[in-house]
Amino acid sequence: MDQLLVLAAVGLLAGAVNAVAGGGSMISFPALVAMGIPPVTANVTNSVAALPGYVGGSLGYRAELAGQGPRIAQLTLVSVGGALAGALTLLAVSAEVFRAVVPWLVLGSAVLLVAQPRVGAWAARRRAGGPRRSALLAAQFAVAFYGGFFVAGLGIVMLAVLGMLLDDTTQRLNALKGVLSLVVGAASAVAFVVLTAVAWGPAALLAVTGLVGGRLGVLVARRVPSAALRWAVAAWGVVVAVALEVSRHVR
């Protein structure tokens, strides 16, 4: 019971963080591992639990999605393909390989979270017209592969890439990121549900509390500077990365 209460609190916090700055999965993933769930199963469970949050975010961004139908249609197919490839790769590699890679993925997400504003500003200065279609599709496939393999930090990585390749406002790009994250999450979740085990109890609890936390996060966003929260989540990500790496060498 105590573990479930803690996990519920983690879900609320992760949902709020996702609403304000992104990176909530870097909170929920280590919480699942700390509960004794094996890392691969924790990652799979985290992926499934994130789906309702993606749906809620997309519904909230209906106005910003207006006129983006062609983009969404263009990027959906490569997102599905990349997500399925990433999910199948996750299930094919050994648990030890996954444990070796995860700390670096978490650390990379933490660094990118801090660098996100600078990356966006740099991309805005360098953009000249629209991107080549092939570059956009290839980049989105790579991001979707990452999301299928390891969900934590997906939104951070995707928003950074879209910001570099598309000339649009941050809010509209964030709305596009939400829809494409939903596509990636749904495709990988289908693969996981069919092919491997999901810890359904924790997944359901994280899904529900994450939705509530997302709503609360909107209120927090009006009071807490997003930069401060971004740095706090990034610092947590560094701690998690170090802890996961150390745990590999402690038996």
pLDDT tier, 221 (very low <50, low <70, confident <90, very high otherwise): low
pLDDT in tens, 225-242: 767 767 877 787 788 888
| CB 213 within 8 Å of CB 13 | yes
Please state, rounded to an integer, the average pLDDT across all residues of the chain: 83
Note the pLDDT of residue 187.
95
* pTM for the predicted model, two decimal places: 0.83
Planar angle of CA 48, 21, 229, nearest 5 degrees: 120
Residue at token pair 């999901």: 198
Instruction: Count how many residues are written for the chain.
Output: 251
